Structure 1
Amino acid sequence: MDWPEGLLLSYYGDDFTGSTDAMEAMTAAGVPTVLFLDLPTPEALARFPGVRCVGLAGSSRGRSPAWMDEVLPKAFSALAALGAPILHYKVCSTFDSSPRIGSIGRAIDIGVRQMPGNWSPTIVGAPRLKRYQAFGNLFAAVNGVGYRLDRHPTMSRHPVTPMAEADLRRHLAQQTERDIELIDLVQLRQGEANTLRQQMERDDPPVVLIDVMDEETLLEAGRLVWQGRGAGLFSASSSGLPYALTTAWRAAGLLPAQPSLPVAPPVDRIAAVSGSCSPVTAAQVQWARQHGFETVRLALAPALGKASREGEIERVVSLAGAALAEGRSALVFSAEGPDDRDVLGFDALADEAGLTRDAAARMVGSTLAEVMRRLLDRVDLQRVVVAGGDSSGEVTSALGIDALTVTAAMSPGAPLCRAWSRNPRRDGLEIVLKGGQMGEASFFGRVRDGAAAS
């Protein structure tokens, strides 16, 4: 297996938490990676000599196809110009999307124009994250129980992009007219994949879904993509793609046999904000409340009101800031799970504020971002956490962070990152961006206590 000079992969993350997930997969395997929050300039890239993977954190998961048509061509073109043989559109490992919001099909139609390849592989399964694809159907495990995505307790009820179809061929066909093929786990294990892939190639590149159920199929998927990269490929995939590629590179002796990240040391206190409404995050909020965190609920009605928003921000900042001043950790959250009263009544709250649902959702994220900004301006903190993909994007943008690198392991899919910023108060800040479905119940304690958390 050959190993070219320069970049191996460039990627656009459809949300911020997913962007750090992909960065963790590459960094842990021994591939130096940096994630930018804006299109990287030559001057910005020069700060990271030896980098072999470059990411760009985006927000397309919550955007319309019209927004994608306007924004993604420029982003994809800039990343393709960096010269990596694979351009990765990083999607969530639950593949939640729709023709109206976060259309993965539209992103594929835009992205394949940027690379010369005549097939477009898609790897969604990621065993490390308990995501599995079998015969084109996607499964995810929760508390040790595996669910088909259309029967998943959270993703089947997602407030914006509920998964009503687990067969990704059928799901994706609602978003693109492009041909959609499948290389299944039996074909991978029987050594038929490369021949099948060659038969599928054509001038108008098809999407080729590749099953991943375990380490064996992960390895074969990685080999298939790398060997079939040709002059350059576009791939809309979860972090299953970097996991697959690094597994193949490791098997070929191109990466260290024992990949690892340092273990995060403890800190005395952390500040956290959460805009997630998943049951996983709800359990984490409850754990924090029971283990000494000051947990402060953001009241959405005043937070969405023009006249009342400032007062609500100051209320929660004062409560959280007082706890931090006393040496305790603080968590500001907007909801506790999908059955939370404000989640169920969110449309009514938005109507009352005179906002569309999408505008109201962004207002919640920007309010949490302002809460975190004020906390960091008032209290010297080493480490912070943001839960929720949209919230993570709002917070990192509000803090003036230019780039992120992974510094330590924390929880699969949610590493400890170092912030790079031209603002001296933000440069060097440790930050964890957590997707709604990521982490064990004691997640916030683990971020604070490092290896000592249980």
Structure 2
Amino acid sequence: MNSSLLLAYYGDDFTGSTDALEFLSRAGVKTALFIETPTPEQLASYPDLRAMGVAGMTRSIPPASMEPILRSAFTELRKLGSRHVHYKVCSTFDSSPTMGSIGKAIDVGQEVFHKNFIPLLVAAPSLGRYCVFGNLFARMGIGSDGAIFRLDRHPSMSKHPVTPADESDLRLHLARQTTKKVGLLDILQLVKNQEDIQNTITALLQDGSDIILFDALYDDQLTPIGELIDSYGHPHNPLFLVGSSGIEMALGKYWESIGALQPVTPWPDPGKATPLLVLSGSCSPITAKQIAWATANGFAEIIIDAQQIDAGAWLLPHMTDYNRKAIEFISEGRSVIIHTGGTSAAQNKLFSSQKLGTALGLIAREVVGQCSAIKRVVVAGGDTSSYAARAMGIEAVEMIAPLVAGAPLCKATAPGSPIDGIDVNFKGGQVGAENYFGILLEGHVF
């Protein structure tokens, strides 16, 4: 048991897990993100950790498959001695009764942790995610100045290939996935003093609420939420939390406000890394615009056949062609973007995230192994990133610089893999402005 741990979290995909890693690291909480739940021996090689995460894959699997994975993970995380254990979900609440069920995760978590209620915080204002009277609103693109839409009218999320958003009220959304009652601390109640907020929580619990959803519209509203939920945490009986990286933001802001954390020194400038290798399994229109920007600004483009990969093509000889083309471009000093560009969202729904992600990870591993010039790799796509990271041989990542909110630049630990020690960046489909890949190439926002 590590009583110095403030928080342990399990992310439902890789890109969302790096999002939580960023906000903890920004707050001054030394954090490592692991691909699998670490052994005590592995943890011992990451000294002075105050938080740790596990990058799971439960967003892309059905509830029956989620249950044994989460039961095992939550049981192990409960033993670590952290004040809180957080099930980290996407800030657009990607889930359904048949895929990535957040309700199933809540049910399993309640059975493992036996707490009298489960806090639910999805709003993350700095990422353009807002919850008002229980309804979720999302900006078009994290780290951009896109328009804000109610979730069920969001141009991208309402057409998500696997979990399209057709309900913005998170209470109704969850009611399809769990029988547990959801109470709401709404935006008007949130502005009251801490005693009144606590009284509202008590009234919701007396009314039978098992889950309490917190509204939030502004960043400064997260601090009182952090204070409230931290009061329920204990290393011998951790509080089980569900939500976006708004959880890390809220707790981090509160811990900072009471002087519990060391001030963060300025992050070092990561500098330019050329040539840059980008791999994308995302079918988001935001990522599509970023790919178009990259190819218009000198990136070489390699389009891979998702249908052939779905049929097991990463084992076939033509996969070598993708590697060969990438190596040729890189030897010419050109940055390369490899993506499933001809695949629509409707088509991608039919393809396996595991196969696509694994193929991209194997390509990255081979190309980096053949090209010592590559010092930085970017992977785009929330559903495929978890599999790509595993295929790349990554054990853990730690943040080295914040470039775009929600997608930190990290250093990879990957024993026995050519990826070991290089810069890696994993981004969800909704993250970033059009010049995102240019920002990662230059190592700064421009």
TM-score by length of structure 1 reads 0.91
Do the aligned partners of 1:300 and 1:342 also contact (CA within 8 Å) in 2? no
User: 2:229 aligns to what?
Assistant: 225
Equivalents in 2 of 1:94, 1:17: separation in Å? 13
Do the aligned partners of 1:28 and 1:261 also contact (CA within 8 Å) in 2? no
User: 1:287 aligns to what?
Assistant: 293
Which deviates more from structure 2 when the two are superposed, residues 20-29 or residues 415-424?
415-424
Offset of 1:424 from its aligned partner? Answer: 6.0
Deviation string, structure 1 residues 204-255 (Cα, Å, up to 9, x no partner): 8711100111022111211121123364311111000000111111122223
User: 1:312 aligns to what?
Assistant: 318
User: 2:17 aligns to what?
Assistant: 19
Equivalents in 2 of 1:113, 1:259: separation in Å? 40
Equivalents in 2 of 1:395, 1:308: separation in Å? 13
1:188 aligns with 2:190: yes
**Counterpart amino acid of 1:428?**
G
Do the aligned partners of 1:119 and 1:200 also contact (CA within 8 Å) in 2? no
Cα 1:152–1:379, aligned 2, differ >3 Å: closer, same or farther?
same
Offset of 1:441 from its aligned partner? Answer: 0.9
1:179 aligns with 2:172: no
Which deviates more from structure 2 when the two are superposed, residues 303-312 or residues 276-285?
303-312
Which secondary structure does the structure 1 equivalent of 2:26 belong to? helix
**Counterpart amino acid of 1:245?**
L
Q: How does 1:11-410 map to 2 (within 5 A)?
A: 11-142=9-140, 143-191=145-193, 192-201=196-205, 206-229=210-233, 231-256=237-262, 261-306=267-312, 310-335=316-341, 342-346=344-348, 357=350, 360-380=352-372, 381-410=374-403
User: 1:350 aligns to what?
Assistant: none
Deviation string, structure 1 residues 56-102 (Cα, Å, up to 9, x no partner): 11000011110111211000110111011211000000001100000
Equivalents in 1 of 2:42, 2:60: separation in Å? 27
**Counterpart amino acid of 1:448?**
L
Cα 1:45–1:180, aligned 2, differ >3 Å: closer, same or farther?
same
User: 1:420 aligns to what?
Assistant: 413
Equivalents in 2 of 1:346, 1:24: separation in Å? 29
Do the aligned partners of 1:382 and 1:430 also contact (CA within 8 Å) in 2? yes
Offset of 1:116 from its aligned partner? Answer: 4.0
**Paired positions, count:** 436
Cα 1:203–1:213, aligned 2, differ >3 Å: closer, same or farther?
closer
Which secondary structure does the structure 2 equivalent of 1:112 belong to? helix
User: 1:447 aligns to what?
Assistant: 440
Do the aligned partners of 1:303 and 1:312 also contact (CA within 8 Å) in 2? no
Cα 1:325–1:6, aligned 2, differ >3 Å: closer, same or farther?
same
Do the aligned partners of 2:124 and 2:219 also contact (CA within 8 Å) in 1? no
Cα 1:196–1:261, aligned 2, differ >3 Å: closer, same or farther?
farther
Equivalents in 2 of 1:366, 1:424: separation in Å? 15
Offset of 1:312 from its aligned partner? Answer: 3.5
Which secondary structure does the structure 2 equivalent of 1:166 belong to? coil
Offset of 1:19 from its aligned partner? Answer: 0.6
**Counterpart amino acid of 1:227?**
S
Deviation string, structure 1 residues 7-62 (Cα, Å, up to 9, x no partner): 11000000000011001100111000011111211110111111010101100001
Structure 1 runs of 4+ aligned residues shifted over 6 Å read 202-205
Deviation string, structure 1 residues 382-413 (Cα, Å, up to 9, x no partner): 11010012221112101211111111112111
Q: Which runs of 5+ in 2 are unaligned?
A: none
Do the aligned partners of 2:274 and 2:375 also contact (CA within 8 Å) in 1? no
Which secondary structure does the structure 2 equivalent of 1:332 belong to? strand
Which secondary structure does the structure 1 equivalent of 2:316 belong to? helix
Which secondary structure does the structure 1 equivalent of 2:162 belong to? coil
- What RMSD in Å do the two structures reach over aligned CA positions? 2.0
Cα 1:202–1:115, aligned 2, differ >3 Å: closer, same or farther?
farther
**Counterpart amino acid of 2:212?**
V
Do the aligned partners of 2:78 and 2:85 also contact (CA within 8 Å) in 1? yes
Identity in percent: 40
